[in-house]
Amino acid sequence: MSPEVAAADRKRQVQVAARGWHDAGAITEATRTQIEERFPDDRARLGPAFRTLAFLFTCVAVHSMFGVVMPALNCSHSLAEDLVAPLAIAFGVALVAATEMFVGPMRRADSGVEAASAWLAVSFLCGGLAWMAEKPFDSGFTGLFLIAAVVCAVAAYRWGFAFLALFAALAGFGLLARTPAGRLLWIAVPLLLAVPLLKGVDSARLSPSHRQCCQAVLLVSVVALYVAVHLGSFDHRFIETIVDWDEHSTSLPAWMRPLSILATALFPIALLALAVFSRRVTMMKVAILLGVASLVTLRFYVSVAPLWVVLLAAGTAALLVVLGVRRALASGVDRERGGFTALPLFEDREKREALEMMSAVASLSPGARTLPAGDDKLTPGGGRYGGGGASDTY
Amino acid sequence: MNPDVADAVVTLERQGVLSPEQARLFGRVARRELVSVHGELRFLAYTGVLLVMGGVGLLVKENLERLGPVTIASALALAAAVCFLWVVRHAAPFTRAAAAPAHLAFDYVLLLGALLAAADLAYVEVQFTPLGAAWVWHLLLVSAFYTILAFRYDSRVVFSLALSTFAAWRGVAAGQLGASLWGSLEGAGFIRANAAACGVLFVGLGLWLKKADWKAHFEPVAAHAGWLLVLAALVSGLGDQAQGYGFALFLVGAGLAAYALWARRFWLLAMGVLGAYVGVSALVLSTFDSADVAMWWFMITALMLLPALFLLHRLVKERA
């Protein structure tokens, strides 16, 4: 990442923070303007709606351009099939140049176009290189994982897109799974990476985009570690099947199973404790999700109670924890305890509410009533209630 | 931790832009000395609601014979009542404007109460049939109940659920419109008409709320849901009759984009632009049935639209 891009990235952070302070009523409009003048953003950015459109139309344009060029070179013909991979690589290289131009001389950031061109550059390069590598080496997915990990990592380092770092990490773990000691590496690598990544997330030397990349890799590593020690993954040889899709009978040392049971139970608790101790809220969310996964696993293996009892108890417990934690925090001095508060500090309320509404509608809406076609006289029956797994007919 | 913001806060305080009190608070947040778990607690509350409703569904299904319908119905009613009691205790007085959030978990306890009550109503109806022939109205009744709760307790989450329940009463769900696009849905035309009618109704409701200054902040929920339904209904018709629906989609999308541009409603603008683009593309592609033409069409038009978007953004400036 060039120094100019990194500097713009840092100033942008200050502007976004100032906007949050202003929206929360903590500073005046005049103060916000003063801050923006002192930390000027020289990038051409688009708002989220325009950005989404720009991303979509860039993808449409590039894919259809590929679709125009391919038949022109007769690539679908069996003799010309070998041209597809070089063509994809050529497209990838051209898109790398385009992305460099967008983020460099054209000073684009958060405009959708540069993210789309970076994403497409990586896709075309990975696709083309993997196609070329697959024929002589026949490596299964190993070649693809290796190429994707390297290309995505280099692109994430160069342009700072967190989603590319995420893909690099996913491909990296895919590659590790293809080795004979896949499961062991899924445990060892996250443990080795944890400290540098945690430092990277907070490092003042790294640009904000690179810090986000570290965060993305950290999240993938945490999930990978959980999967590696998870009892269900152990019993069903999840990681081993990435080497061979039909292979479910790889033998693992028997002593690992009790450890796996212990780890499935303790990992989310340990992660939550670490998240609270190090004050990392994203990690708290991950710990909650992994905790739910461990509870589901527990119910799957041990019938402690009927499933409905487990669900009701877990749901009620979650709500009671929310009420209890909120009350404990609100009753502290300045409505905080140990540096934690339940107040929404400078968050984007509109964005949060939009996400909550979409989640609620998607998961809790009732099923549609069955209407007889062409007859608007309503007849009894049909319709469902509930949601969130509760949807059913009586 | 955000070291850039932490450094900036120190600089801004030194330059006199921020007061010492402001700098202290902002600095603590940037250095992660003060951390808000507001979003995480709401996320946990949402997870709790999902789990409880999943449990309720299984409870009803698996324990009907063992516990008996009266016990189950009473248990559901009691649970809903507990939720509503909590809501009533914590609710702010009614106001036509947006109310200040009463409690972090307020929306979700209200949502849980509403869902439990609706599940109880459906269960009681199936077991004891008190609604009789009026059973067909039950989703409408539930939708009205959600609406009342949403307005009284100022919950946009519950309001969005009220709208989706109303659409469900008219036989509309998102998945059906998708199926209808690929021609795999019986009575697709009827459902499409219902979806479009629901959409128009929601948009109208939103306009009325804004005009009457009655929970005007609910308007975006109604408008977005409404336009989404109208556009989805038209898109779902492309599989049946590309020319007619394509033309209608183009007109509606272009009209919506023009209105949204004027009103500076950027997500509506995005929906309108996409709708118009899909509509005009359907018209062109149904006229020239060729893959080559399709590729050229998408390449040229998308490349033309990109600079147009940047120019448009210069005029209207959506906050980045």
Question: Residue B199: what pLDDT?
Answer: 94
Q: Do A378 and B136 touch (CB under 8 A)?
A: yes
Residue A324: count of CB within 10 angstroms of its CB: 10
Q: Cβ–Cβ of A366/B142 closer than 8 Å? A: yes
Strands A340-341 vs A336-337: parallel, antiparallel or unpaired = antiparallel
Query: pLDDT per residue over B11-64, tens digit each?
Result: 999 999 999 999 999 999 999 999 999 988 998 999 899 999 988 888 887 877
> What tens digit of pLDDT does each residue of B88-104 get?
999 999 999 888 888 88
Is 80 exceeded by the pLDDT of residue B135? no
Tally of residues, chain A: 394
Say what the pLDDT of residue A387 is. 46
- The amino acid sitting at A65 is M
A317 vs B contacts (CB less than 8 Å): 48
Neighbours of A355 (CB within 10 A): 13
The pLDDT assigned to A389 comes to 39
A44: β partners: A108
Distance from CA of A359 to the nearest CA of B (A): 9
Min Cα distance A190 → chain B (Å) is: 21
Ordered per-residue pLDDT tens for chain A, 394 residues: 888 999 999 999 999 999 999 988 899 999 999 999 999 988 889 999 999 999 999 999 999 999 998 887 776 565 566 788 899 999 999 999 999 999 999 999 999 999 999 999 999 999 999 888 877 766 678 888 999 999 999 999 999 999 999 999 999 999 999 888 889 999 999 999 999 999 999 999 999 999 999 999 999 999 999 999 999 998 888 888 877 666 556 677 888 889 999 999 999 999 999 999 999 989 998 998 999 899 888 888 888 788 888 889 989 999 999 999 999 999 998 899 989 999 888 877 777 777 877 877 777 777 777 765 544 444 444 444 444 434 444 4
Average pLDDT in chain B: 89
What pLDDT, in 10s, does the model give residues B260-315?
Answer: 999 999 999 999 999 999 999 999 998 888 888 999 999 999 999 999 999 999 88
> Please, which residues have CB within 8 angstroms of residue B242's CB and are 6 or more apart in sequence?
B282, B283, B285, B286
Q: List the single best residue of A312, A319, A353 to mutate versus B (max B Cβ within 10 A).
A: A319
Q: What is the pLDDT of residue A77?
A: 62
Q: Which of B35, B133, B164 comes nearest A340 by C-beta?
A: B35
B174, A361 contact by CB (below 8 A): no
User: What does the block give as tokens for B313?
Assistant: 């953004």
ipTM: 0.87
- Cβ contacts of B110 on chain A, cutoff 8 Å: none
Q: Rounded to a whole number, what is the largest CA-CA distance in chain A?
A: 76
H-state helical runs in chain B: 3-14, 20-30, 38-62, 64-67, 69-90, 106-128, 138-153, 156-169, 174-181, 188-211, 219-236, 242-263, 266-287, 291-316
Residue A56 contacts B where some CB pair is shorter than 8 Å: yes
Task: Inform me whether the C-beta atom of residue B85 falls under 8 Å from chain A C-beta atoms.
Answer: no
Q: Which of residues 208-267 of A touch B (CB under 8 A)?
A: 208
Whether residues A312 and B52 touch (CB distance < 8 A) is answered with: yes
CA distance B284 to B281: 5
User: CA-to-CA distance for B264 and B260, rounded, in angstroms?
Assistant: 6
DSSP A285-333: HHHHHHHHHHHHHHHHH--SS-HHHHHHHHHHHHHHHHHHHHHHHHTSG
Chain B positions touching A307 (Cβ under 8 A) are 55, 58
